[in-house]
Amino acid sequence: MDRMLVVVFDNETKAYEGKKALLQLDGEGSITVYAYAVLSKNADGTATVKQGDDSGPIGTLLGTSFGTLIGLLGGPVGLAVGAATGLIAGGTVDLNNARIGDDFIDDVTKVLTPNKVAVVAEIEEDWTTPVDTRMEAIGGTVFRRALADAKHTIHEENVAAMKADLAQMKAEQAKAHADRKGKLQEKINQLDSKIQVQLQKAKDKREAAERQAQAKAQVLRAKAAVAKAKAS
């Protein structure tokens, strides 16, 4: 099952131990790690993706659920991105992109307080014991949430509703007096712009989902090749 994983530690040293343990579990075949980063909560409330940390093969894809989670954990004060600049660059953070509930973010941020450090990862695991055992032994507090299916229905319904409004306004404009036509045209232009924005958002999400699926498939192929080489 694909999951988002956040493990909160009291300091940076333990967090890096946790990251190392997570990658060891991946190497052992207990889990598959698709993306990871070490996130530090600063004393002033900002969050920093630590310099020099590899964010994993899908970590830098814009619009991915992993990148969005990193941005959300940055909190309202902001995110000072270190080495992993591409994680959330180029767009605002959208909870829908994270594919997890806001209650998960709330639970994590209550524990990820200033001066604490978290290992954030997108993983696939069949059972929770391997990760929990390793992380708890290091002193980590584990949070996980299964990724929900990407939902395009909200965008589709929203666009359909706005198109219905657009058609209504155009019908009214055709019958309106000259002074009213101009006001209706302004509203028509504004609504049409909103429709285009929604259509672009839906397109961006589809493309991001396709890139993420391709990157995950690449990770799995690479692991299969390594396993085959060891077996031969």
pLDDT by residue, tens only, the chain of 232 residues? 788 899 999 999 999 999 999 999 998 989 998 888 899 988 887 788 875 445 555 555 445 677 778 878 876 544 444 434 344 443 445 555 666 777 788 889 899 999 999 999 988 888 888 999 999 999 999 998 887 654 555 567 667 877 888 888 888 888 888 777 888 888 889 888 888 887 887 787 777 777 777 877 887 888 888 878 878 7
The confidence score (pLDDT) of residue 14 equals: 96
The confidence score (pLDDT) of residue 210 equals: 78
Identify which of 37, 228, 193, 224 has the alpha carbon closest to the alpha carbon of residue 117: 37
The confidence score (pLDDT) of residue 88 equals: 43
* Beta carbons of 208 and 91 less than 8 angstroms apart: no
Name the pTM for this structure.
0.67
The confidence score (pLDDT) of residue 146 equals: 82
The confidence score (pLDDT) of residue 91 equals: 41
